[in-house]
Amino acid sequence: MGGVKGKRIGVLMGGPSRERDISMKSGRAVCRALESNGLKPVPLELIKASTLNGYRNQASDMIRLSNIDVAFIALHGEFGEDGRVQEILEDLGIPYTGSRVDASTLGMDKIGSKAIFKSRGIPTPRYKIITDKCRPLDAREYFESLGSPLVIKPSGEGSSIGLSMIELEKEFTEALNKALEHGGRAVIEEYIAGREIAVGILEDRALPVVEIIPGKRFFDFEAKYQKGMTEYRVPADMEREVYDVSQKIALESHNALGARFFSRVDMILTRDNIPMVLEVNTIPGLTETSLLPKAAHAAGIDFNQLAAKILESALW
């Protein structure tokens, strides 16, 4: 901890994302952890603004006036996880935790990241892209091409926000419009039946695999954050070879996007035991019950140690 002792550590939380409440929980948990390590974090809450430019000005002024030496980013989703706040910190010359601008932008862009996975031979569900500017095909053609059910989701949201799973053609338009509300680009993806797993990455190495067993059909926002809705098994109970391949593909995905030090890779393990990558989260939840901390705990790293490791990486 020598590198950060005596430094003013700004913990960025809040923001415009629909994951704001989770960000606040992450930020407060990080502050408590840093205090337990004998440090004095400075909570920096990004409050609501009417435009993204307003958030940019607010964040820039708040960070500059706080006189922090290093930033711990606990902002999830839009503005915090998409490269925008990272760009501000770089302009101000302040070191920060997590991935750099380009990798952060890619991690939030499901279309861009899927293209990279495909180019690198990383298994990911088949998909189609729709934007506000392009006319979608008849719903029947998507079902014929990708099968049923279909998963329809925004390109740039996290925590399953704006996501729908549909089995009927008559549900298509409503689900598509719901996804397009969040940024104007949507991914229509084949549904992969199998086990939901997540692999945390820490120090650019794979942590134990977590299996997610939602109490409902799929792991949506409610299942993620409503207590008692989901069961977690860590380490996941699977054959050693499948376990090792899941960790390997997760680390390949992290590296393919250029993610830095830590992330969380969400996957579906097919019935044929093939890990299919859904996305890489460059700023995963950081409460004591979030998936990355669960995986770290299984590797013998408690939450206070996890927060300290992430913070120290900002100065590398």
Confidence band (pLDDT; 50, 70, 90) for 216? low
For CATH 3.30.470.20, list the domain ranges present in the chain.
107-122+193-282
Q: Which residue in 10, 14, 15, 19 is the catalytic one?
A: 19
CA nearest to 72, candidates 262, 211, 298: 262
Helix (H) or strand (E) holding 295: helix 291-298
Residue 215 CB coordination number (10 Å): 12
Beta-bridge partners for 12: 44, 73
Its pTM stands at: 0.91
Dihedral, CA atoms, 255, 11, 200, 221, nearest 10 degrees?
-110
- Rounded to the nearest 5 degrees, what angle is found at the Cα of 10, between the Cα atoms of 100 and 89? 35
Assess whether 53 carries a catalytic annotation: no
pLDDT digits (tens, 9 = 90+) for 73-86: 999 988 889 999 99
Residue 254, φ and ψ in degrees, nearest 5: -55, -50
For CATH 3.40.50.20, list the domain ranges present in the chain.
9-97
Assess whether 281 carries a catalytic annotation: yes
pLDDT digits (tens, 9 = 90+) for 149-192: 999 998 876 656 788 999 999 999 999 989 888 778 899 999 99
Domain 107-122+193-282 grouped into CATH 3.40.50.300: no
Assess whether 159 carries a catalytic annotation: yes
- High-pLDDT (> 90) share of the chain, %: 74
Q: Which residue in 23, 225, 243, 253 is the catalytic one?
A: 225
Domain 127-190 grouped into CATH 3.50.50.60: no
Q: Which residue in 81, 82, 220, 279 is the catalytic one?
A: 279
Q: Which residue in 281, 288, 304, 312 is the catalytic one?
A: 281
pLDDT digits (tens, 9 = 90+) for 108-161: 999 999 999 999 999 999 999 998 767 777 899 999 999 999 999 988 766 567
Assess whether 171 carries a catalytic annotation: no
CATH of domain 9-97: 3.40.50.20
Q: Are strands 185-190 and 150-154 parallel, antiparallel or unpaired?
A: antiparallel
Assess whether 279 carries a catalytic annotation: yes
Assess whether 243 carries a catalytic annotation: no
Helix (H) or strand (E) holding 7: none
Coil, strand or helix at 27: helix
Assess whether 19 carries a catalytic annotation: yes
Q: Of the ranges 48-57, 288-297, 299-308, which one carries the lowest mean pLDDT score?
A: 48-57
For CATH 3.30.1490.20, list the domain ranges present in the chain.
127-190
Tell me how far apart the alpha carbons of residues 225 and 207 are, in angstroms, rounded to a whole number. Answer: 22
Contacts of 16 (CB under 8 A, 6+ apart): 46, 48, 49, 52, 55, 78, 79
